[in-house]
Structure 1
Amino acid sequence: MARAKKRPHLSLYEHEDDESTTTTVHQISGDWRRRRINSRPARIVRPSPPSNQQQPVAQDTPNDLFDPASYQDVLPVEITDQIEGITVVAKEKARRYESSDVPLKTFLPYRDEYLDDMLFCEGRGLYMHSKTCPRPCCSNQAEVRCKDCFGRELLCGGCMVTEHTRHPLHRVESWTGTQFVRNTLTALGLRLQLGHRLGEPCQNHSEARELMVIDVNGIHELKVAFCGCRPVEEYRQLLQLRWWPATPLLPRTAFTFNLLRQFHYQNLQGNITAFDFYRSLEFLTDGRLSSAIP
């Protein structure tokens, strides 16, 4: 038996058209009759070989993907480096400063001056040579200053009370000769009249009693006199001053609106509890009292 001759191998570009043949398929129809179907396979189309002028495009450099010179007839505008009416300015490199790179290295040469000025503020400061009260109507010894007022001016006790009728919740301290110690405006003689405008006297003078007012700068003990000439309840007189009474029945404690707002923000942002917030106010008022509480 003669052996069939092997068909030569066809490469990708050197090929011949396949001879299409017809295949007969026998199929059984729905009525059980044999049906013959002639099927012709689809013709396989292979790519034509490239010509000698066409060369594969190199993909090594991205500049070969777009050549503006080859698109001069297509693009409606001319490609230039500058656009009319627009000036291109080169961005300068940001400067680097030693204070931003190493901030502590910048601070070290000035640490002695910082410490000296901090100790300077703990003493009499700019009023170290002032012995008497600077008010023209007073010649008493200047020994009281306010920690919350700007400048921390040294005044006598009477002038300090007069200056703080509008700021009864400020903190004051007295000079003992060697240092400043905590003092209160109530101990210096401050007395508040509620229910009236500032400076307006009350027709029915009532006896002043103690009221604890808690503000953002600490806990204050004040002497207040509620108005008795108008039919206004005591708790309403406190509310009209933006002081929230702890109880509407004979209030003895009040909280300022600024304090309540401050606690509300810290509770939302820092999740601080009312107990911890009050302990911080105790420490702000008197550190010795807060350290003694377990």
Structure 2
Amino acid sequence: KTQNDFLLEWIPWQEKYLSIILGLENPAVPEKCQVCLQADGNIRCLSYQTCHTWCWPCVVRSHVHHPFHRIQQWTGQFYDNIALHDLGYVLNLGHNGASCPKNTDKSQGDWFCNHFTIIHSAGIFIH
């Protein structure tokens, strides 16, 4: 078969595929967070192959070890890109994602860098 033959076979299905794709972009009813089942699930992760929605505390907790996932937040009209950092995510280097346990001198506070840029195969991230 030629490419044209394959396209001719697909044409009757195009409306169904378009409907499914657009349905993922515009949730018909607001969903609850699929982790806590309490708050509105207005955040999704494009790096997962599922259609799960989260509230911001649950998406931050579930991405402790996935800081380079692509996150989007529902604005009421469309999903817009948002950084995990903007949701309160703190990237701790070392110690399996936790704060350094040796930082016992609370007078100095936690040492942290306000902003830095990471270039990763999944994109450019500012934390």
State the TM-score, normalized to the length of structure 2. Answer: 0.81
**Mapped partners of 2:14, 2:95: distance in 1:** 51
Displacement of 1:176 in angstroms is 1.3
Q: Note if 1:173 corresponds to 2:78.
A: no
Structure 2: which 5+ residue stretches go unaligned?
104-109
Contact 2:91/2:97 (CA < 8 Å) preserved in 1?
A: no
Displacement of 1:154 in angstroms is 0.8
CA deviation vs aligned residue, 1:26-61 (integer Å, no higher than 9, x gap): xxxxxxxxxxxxxxxxxxxxxxxxxxxxxxxxxxxx
Q: Secondary structure at the match of 1:142?
A: coil
1:192 pairs with one of 91, 112, 118:
91
Structural mapping, 1:96-245, within 5 Å: 100-101=1-2, 102-124=5-27, 128-136=28-36, 139-199=38-98, 201-204=100-103, 205-222=110-127
Flag as ranges the 4+ runs of structure 1 deviating above 6 A: none
Aligned length: 119
Percent of counterpart pairs with the same letter?
A: 26
Q: Output the amino acid matched with 1:142.
A: G
Structure 1: which 5+ residue stretches go unaligned?
1-99, 223-294
CA deviation vs aligned residue, 1:75-114 (integer Å, no higher than 9, x gap): xxxxxxxxxxxxxxxxxxxxxxxxx342122111111112
Contact 1:191/1:208 (CA < 8 Å) preserved in 2?
A: no
Q: Structure 1's 114 and 132: CA in aligned 2 closer, same or farther, altered over 3 A?
A: closer
- From the CA coordinates, give the structure whose radius of gyration is larger: 1
**Mapped partners of 2:80, 2:92: distance in 1:** 28
Higher relative contact order (CA closer than 8 Å, sequence separation 6+): 2
State the TM-score, normalized to the length of structure 1. Answer: 0.38
**Mapped partners of 1:132, 1:108: distance in 2:** 36
**Mapped partners of 1:213, 1:145: distance in 2:** 21
Displacement of 1:122 in angstroms is 1.8
